[in-house]
Amino acid sequence: MTAPIISVRGVSKRYNLGKIGMTTFREEIQETWNRWRGLPSTRKTARDFWALRDISFDVQPGEVIGMIGGNGAGKSTLLKIMSRITEPTTGEIELGGRIGSLLEVGTGFHPELSGRDNVFLNGSMLGMKKSEIRSKFDSIVEFAEVGKFIDTPVKRYSSGMYVRLAFAVAAFLEPEILIVDEVLAVGDAQFQRKCINRMQEISQDQGRTILFVSHSMPSISRLCQRCAVLESGKLLGVFPIDEAVELYSRRVKPTAYDVNVRENKREAASDGSVCRITRIRVLGDQGLRLNDPLELEFEIEAPEAVDKVMLGFGFDTVEGQRILTLDSDADGRNFSLAAGLNRVRLSLPALPLHPGRYYCSTALGLGRVYYDIVDSFALWEVLPRRDDWETGRRFGGCRLMPEISVA
């Protein structure tokens, strides 16, 4: 059997939380006074927090492994240990090749250097010769779409430009292991598709190994064969992709039917220069229920009046399959937004979704131009009808009520 290219054995990571180190003279006097009066100490003591607990698994050469889990599950900590950014408290990781990491905007680039200089700097850190880097340089710049700015210091780049160049460097300078965190959410939708395609290419055609972290179940399902599921610092296991997504979604609590998406990571233009979705909620007290009326309200901020806008909303299964799409321009009509805060509603007389959990995404734009995209912002649960007596029949994703006539 082929030796694993990544071997994780008993890895744990402990952090000390609370106040540690030296105290001020005033605090020492206060502590002395408390002890003399018999009062409780006000000093904060450090406590242990285990970000990871006894993680073990192997990755074979050429595998694409997903990594999913809620906030605080330990995904980023584990990737930082793999990338040699931090050390484990216990355990060890053996790597069978050079590693390229794309963990967060700003990692690996020197802000004062130009894009060109950072490409050569990163290549040299991977042990590549100048001639090797030079042979890949044009492909990197073309893929990143930063040709006009390649000699500009990267501190002047937008976050999207930064991520495009960082991904291109990691993908084209040919490390044996590529680690990609959910930083790709900063890029626009078109560039994300390019990245997914590139990762598929370098895995299938070049046999390189990829670890991919994302909250987007469609992206995980499309790219990965197996997936590690983490929860509260513990590894629940490494499963085939369908089993992993189902397990993760089953353990995640459904999101409230009123979501502030102001701080959510965006796929597309997210600077609010045209308009931006800030809140999405289900109207009414019943939540989402099969064949009940559906009414969604969106709060949209527009710096100035905007004409001809389309609002879209999608329900995806936990496996990443789009099952229902609501588009405000399905009849060819658009609507306008006034400057300031707008409230827009999408309504259906009856929600046809079969009971279950669905990831929800939304988009705002016109034609092929998107002003805002918020992907998988919520996991909403559709409940059965109150009078639904049928439990044994299979209905698929949508269950519609047709008109019936008997001749």
User: Do 275 and 302 form a contact (C-beta atoms < 8 A)?
Assistant: yes
Angle of CA points 44, 50, 54, to nearest 5°: 160
Q: How far is CA 117 from CA 121, 153, 169, 206, in A?
A: 6, 9, 12, 26
**Residue 328 or residue 129, greater confidence:** 328
What burial letters (b/e) apply to 178-196, b meaning 16+ CB within 10 Å?
A: bbbbbbbbbbbeebbebbb
User: Do 114 and 154 form a contact (C-beta atoms < 8 A)?
Assistant: yes
Q: Which CATH superfamily is domain 6-251 in?
A: P-loop containing nucleotide triphosphate hydrolases (3.40.50.300)
Q: Which pLDDT score, from 0 to 100, does residue 362 have?
A: 92
Say if residue 273 is exposed, middle or buried (CB neighbours under 10 Å; 0-12, 13-18, 19+). exposed
**Backbone φ and ψ of 61, nearest 5°:** -55, 135
Q: Which CATH class is domain 258-383?
A: mainly beta
DSSP 147: G
CA distance 21 to 120: 40
Q: Which of 349, 362, 330 is nearest to 400 (CA)?
A: 349
Q: With 70 as the cut, is the pLDDT of residue 23 above it?
A: no
- Sign of the dihedral defined by the CA atoms of residues 246, 252, 257, 262, in that order: negative
Question: Domain extents for the chain?
Answer: 6-251, 258-383
List of residues 6+ apart from 263 with CB closer than 8 A: none
Q: Which pLDDT score, from 0 to 100, does residue 336 have?
A: 92
Q: Where are the beta strands (DSSP E) in 225-334?
A: 226-231, 234-240, 258-260, 276-282, 288-289, 294-302, 306-316, 322-327
pLDDT bracket for residue 268 (50, 70, 90): very low
List of residues 6+ apart from 35 with CB closer than 8 A: 41
Residues facing residue 303 across a β-bridge: none
Residues facing residue 344 across a β-bridge: 298
- Sign of the dihedral defined by the CA atoms of residues 52, 84, 263, 69, in that order: negative
**Backbone φ and ψ of 3, nearest 5°:** -70, 140
Dihedral of CA atoms 27, 30, 35, 41 in degrees, nearest 10, equals: -60
- Sign of the dihedral defined by the CA atoms of residues 76, 77, 78, 80, in that order: positive
Q: How far is CA 91 from CA 11, 20, 57, 72, 213, in A?
A: 4, 25, 12, 20, 22
Q: Which pLDDT score, from 0 to 100, does residue 390 have?
A: 52
CA distance 132 to 129: 5
Please state, rounded to an integer, the average pLDDT across all residues of the chain. 83
Q: With 80 as the cut, is the pLDDT of residue 224 above it?
A: yes
Q: Which pLDDT score, from 0 to 100, does residue 65 have?
A: 92
Residues 318-338: what's their mean pLDDT?
86
**Residue 384 or residue 244, greater confidence:** 244
Q: Which of 97, 81, 72, 101 is nearest to 8 (CA)?
A: 81
List of residues 6+ apart from 282 with CB closer than 8 A: 257, 258, 288, 294, 295, 296, 297, 380
| pLDDT digits 0-9 by tens, 107-148 | 678 889 999 998 998 888 777 788 888 998 999 899 888 889
Share of the chain above pLDDT 70, in %: 88
Q: Which of 38-42, 130-134, 293-297 has the lowest mean pLDDT?
A: 38-42
Q: Which pLDDT score, from 0 to 100, does residue 114 have?
A: 92
Residues 225-254: what's their mean pLDDT?
88
Dihedral of CA atoms 154, 159, 162, 168 in degrees, nearest 10, equals: -170
The tally of CA atoms less than 13 A away on the side-chain side of residue 203 is 21
pLDDT bracket for residue 344 (50, 70, 90): very high
pLDDT bracket for residue 394 (50, 70, 90): low
Q: Which pLDDT score, from 0 to 100, does residue 291 have?
A: 86
Q: Which pLDDT score, from 0 to 100, does residue 389 have?
A: 52
| pLDDT digits 0-9 by tens, 140-175 | 899 888 889 999 998 888 877 888 888 888 778 778
Q: With 80 as the cut, is the pLDDT of residue 80 above it?
A: yes
Q: Which pLDDT score, from 0 to 100, does residue 25 have?
A: 60
- Sign of the dihedral defined by the CA atoms of residues 327, 333, 338, 343, in that order: negative
Q: Which pLDDT score, from 0 to 100, does residue 269 have?
A: 47
CA distance 334 to 196: 32
The CA radius of gyration of the chain, in Å to the nearest whole number, is 25
Q: With 90 as the cut, is the pLDDT of residue 106 above it?
A: no
Q: Which pLDDT score, from 0 to 100, does residue 266 have?
A: 63
Q: Which pLDDT score, from 0 to 100, does residue 227 have?
A: 93
Residues 205-209: what's their mean pLDDT?
85
